[in-house]
Structure 1
Amino acid sequence: MNNFNLYFSLVYENEEFIVINKKENINFHSEDGEFGVVVAAEKALNIKLYSVHRLDKMTSGLLLLAKSSHIAAHLSALFKAHQVQKYYIAITDKKPKKKQGLIQGGMQKSRRSMWKLTKTKENLAITQFFSFTLGAGKRLFIIKPKTGKTHQIRVALKSIGSAICGDPLYGEKTKQYDRGYLHAYQLEFTLLDKKYEFQVLPCSGELFKEGACVELLTQHKSMASLCWPKC
């Protein structure tokens, strides 16, 4: 496939796995005759790949894909044991109920393809976050999901009154943005006794590229060094 760069860019590759930067508005799985990002990567690199986590269609950023079922099992076990640290960035245009902290609750299916947060512990989702002002009514969120539920971050920010800009499901329909402003920014894990850390900036989105956002990300270069709320 010649146009794989429309789907992703390659961040890293070794004998065990690849890391790609998924573009926004690209499906994870193939749908309606359109390649998903995993199939696009397989065709572009001419190898069989195994998924161990996923990103929503609107979400861009770091995606880890194994090159064998053996490594996929290793990585899946790391994700299950919460030994893969994932950090996301998002931009909202609503001031949150709190500037930092912990959002937790049960994830329950709602209308259409939406989810909602409940007060129960069934299908529990835990999300840690910090938020910073960008000016002009915008805020940058740095997010560390403890669990990996469908739409978890999008629902969590909606629950504190700060739906993500451009989110087609949970955002305000009257406001137009050039993309959904959620990006998988950093990954950290140890595989076969070797530590890996990857970080990639969004390659699209006017708000992500504004000076205030870039400056904040520069100030907080290592997401792990932030004083994350205890779960």
Structure 2
Amino acid sequence: MENTWVYQGNEPIKIKKYLQSLGMGHRLFNDLKNGEGEFLVDHRSVRPTTKILPNQPLTIKAQPELPDESVGISDEPINIIFEDDNWLVIDKPAGVTSIPGPTIKNGTVLNRVKGYLIRNNSADLRPHLITRLDRFTSGLLLVAKHHIASSMISQQVQQHTMLKEYTAIVEGRFNEGHGEINKPIARREGEISRVIDEGGQPALTEYWVEKEGADWTLLRLRLHTGRTHQIRVHLASIGHPLIGDHLYGGDTSKFAHQLLHASKISFKDPFTLKQLVFTSDLPTSFK
């Protein structure tokens, strides 16, 4: 596997500093430097301390990761809305788990992606889920097809510069069309649910009212942090639980799961340096 960039700066720059500016982590750079890859400038192998000049191409050649044998292989389908050499963007239906766990070992998104890569004779068979969704939350997931991509997008994930928007239907109506919920979230000891707690991790959710009914509201939501169950916990805390959310007190009389959909994701591709934007239509259950 190899990736190439053309340096667009005005002054010479060391390879490490340039790759860090693109998002590459220190650990991956060291792995490449210590035998797991090769650096080429103008198609010539060079030392990692080399400086590159404006308009020079830099290529990284990396060895594929070994497959994770603990992750099973599934031939069940995945709905791919975008694919290139580095990324998969998948539209996940409600009811499918993102990764294997104690109770669900196979059939998850990760198992299905591994099966898909094997069927397509990919050199890298250890996919990395960059974003995850609860089992009964539908919508967009970003998958890195190899560890170089996973490392180079991690800075955007950690700094919350990757845009993630959701659509939800919640109980009740709002007095304002736009607002923020800024409340820390903590784990409940021995439980899967989360709780608002001053000792928890900071969490910020922004919302916009898109449509209202007699006793419900359709919201567009943007995550500024990425806590487990963040949207579900935050909305329940202000008296507007998601319809169908049994874990946080939502009305389940008509829907068996929460009406939450990951409708938009956008990030700067560290390989092409272009801003990529993907959207997903609402499932039939919402309509």
TM value normalised by structure 1:
0.80
CA distance in 1, matches of 2:188, 2:176: 25
Higher relative contact order (CA 8 A, sep 6+): 1
Name the CA shift for 1:174/1:54 in 2 (closer, same or farther; >3 Å).
Answer: closer
- For residues 163-178 of structure 1, what are the structure 2 equivalents within 5 Å? 163-172=241-250, 175-178=253-256
Select 2:98's aligned residue among 16, 19, 28: 28
Task: Give a deviation string over 1:12-48, Cα, whole Å, max 9, x none.
Answer: 0001110000111211112334322111122134252
SS at match of 1:204: coil
TM-fit CA distance, 1:110:
2.7
- How far apart are the structure 2 equivalents of 1:97 and 1:181? 21
CA offsets per residue over residues 86-111 of structure 1, 9 Å max, x none?
Answer: 11000012234754211112111236
Check whether the contact 1:92–1:138 (CA below 8 A) recurs between aligned residues: yes
Residue 9 of structure 2 corresponds to none
Query: Is the CA contact (8 Å cut-off) linking 2:245 and 2:252 kept in structure 1?
Result: no
Q: Is the 8 A contact 2:243 2:258 kept in 1?
A: yes
Which residue of 2 is the match for residue 117 of structure 1? 196
The percent of aligned pairs where both chains have the same amino acid is 28
Determine the structure 2 residue equivalent to 1:70: 148
Report whether the alignment pairs 1:9 with 2:89.
no
Measured in 1, the distance between the counterparts of 2:241 and 2:79 equals 28
Q: Work out whether 1:195 is the aligned partner of 2:275.
A: yes
Q: 1:39 aligns with which of 111, 121, 128?
A: 111
Out of 135, 144, 158, the position equivalent to 1:57 is: 135
- Structure 1's consecutive aligned runs of 4 or more residues displaced over 4 angstroms after TM superposition are 96-99
Counterparts of 2:199 and 2:266, CA distance in 1: 27
3-state DSSP class of the match of 1:175? coil
Question: Is 2:189 the counterpart of 1:127?
Answer: no
Listed as ranges, the gaps of 5+ residues in structure 1 are 210-231
Q: CA RMSD in A?
A: 2.0
Structure 2 length-normalised TM = 0.66
Instruction: Give the Cα separation in 2 of the matches to 1:72 and 1:164.
Output: 32
Shift of 1:151: 0.4
Distance 1:160 1:199 in 2: 28
Secondary structure of residue in 1 paired with 2:167:
strand
Contact 1:130 1:143 in 2 (8 A): yes
Quick one: which amino acid aligns to residue 20 of structure 1? I
Counterpart residue number, 2:70: none
* Shift, 1:176, TM fit: 3.1
State which of 182, 186, 197 in structure 2 corresponds to 1:104: 182
- Identify if the C-alpha distance between structure 1 residues 29 and 109 changes in structure 2 by more than 3 Å, giving closer, same or farther: same
Deviation at 1:64, TM superposition (A): 0.2
Aligned-partner SS, 1:124? coil
Q: Tell me the distance in 2 between the aligned counterparts of 1:27 and 1:56.
A: 7
